[in-house]
Amino acid sequence: MEEMQSFGDLLDLQAVDLDIDRLIHTRGTLPVLDEYKTAHASTAAAQGEYEALNGEFNLASRDLDKAEGELEILEEKLGREEQRLFAGGMSARETENMRNEVISLRSKQSEMEDLVLELIDSREKLEERVKAATIRLDEMKATEAKLEAEVGKEWKKIDAELARREGTKAEIVPLIPAELLQLYDRLRNAKEGVAIGRLIDGVCGGCHLALSAAEQLEVAADDPPLCLHCRRILVL
């Protein structure tokens, strides 16, 4: 009678363990979890795009600052040279040399002004792209956060159910002899979670194969009874 009670407890334990397996599977395969993973990947990609564009913008800003600084120095030098040229008091050769220097500086100034304008245009375009990337990233982060909250809500419910099942399991396990429990655990690992089944009308509840009358007598002689086909524990 005590042995039958142990098998009954094992059946109860298996029912709880299968519920736990189902809940864990459900926890890891929630549709909203897949949506969250997709959103997280998209957010990561958008973050990378934003950082790359922001890096280009910062580099363009540094190039512009450098060009504007060089233009300012060039303009100051040109101003000084023009002032010396207009002041006069130099020989004809010195005046000619100074005039050529001023012409050269004006040419460089024009080139530098064109470069500064190009850099300003380039930076403005990058700034617009950075703004668009920022808006896109913020939207994706909001979507990801919303989905994360939904996942957390579902997980909270599943975890509460898991805690109840684990509590029930903790009450059943001490009722089962250690050796029988070890056999059950080994079989569960090897038999896709189903270690024990009832023998109903000569059919194993684990593998659903029939046992002849002679085979049933053979199984009944074992301790514990094991199905001849699948080697699961049989409750006769």
**Domain ranges in the chain?**
30-156
Residues near 205 by beta carbon (within 8 Å), at least 6 away in sequence? 197, 198, 199, 234, 235
**What global pTM score does this model have?**
0.75
pLDDT at position 36, please?
Answer: 97
Distance CA 34, CA 150 (A): 12
Segment 45-94, tens digit of pLDDT = 999 999 999 999 999 999 999 999 999 999 998 888 888 878 777 778 88
Domain 30-156 top-level CATH class: mainly alpha
Segment 120-176, tens digit of pLDDT = 999 999 999 999 999 999 999 999 999 999 999 999 999 999 999 999 999 999 999
Residues near 24 by beta carbon (within 8 Å), at least 6 away in sequence? 162
Residues near 192 by beta carbon (within 8 Å), at least 6 away in sequence? none
Distance CA 214, CA 202 (A): 11
- Element spanning 200, H or E: strand 196-200
Residue 53: which of 121, 119, 133, 120 has the closest Cα? 133
pLDDT at position 137, please?
Answer: 97
> In the predicted model, what is the mean pLDDT of the chain?
93
Does the pLDDT value for residue 115 go beyond 90?
yes
Percent of the chain past pLDDT 90, that is, above it, reads: 84
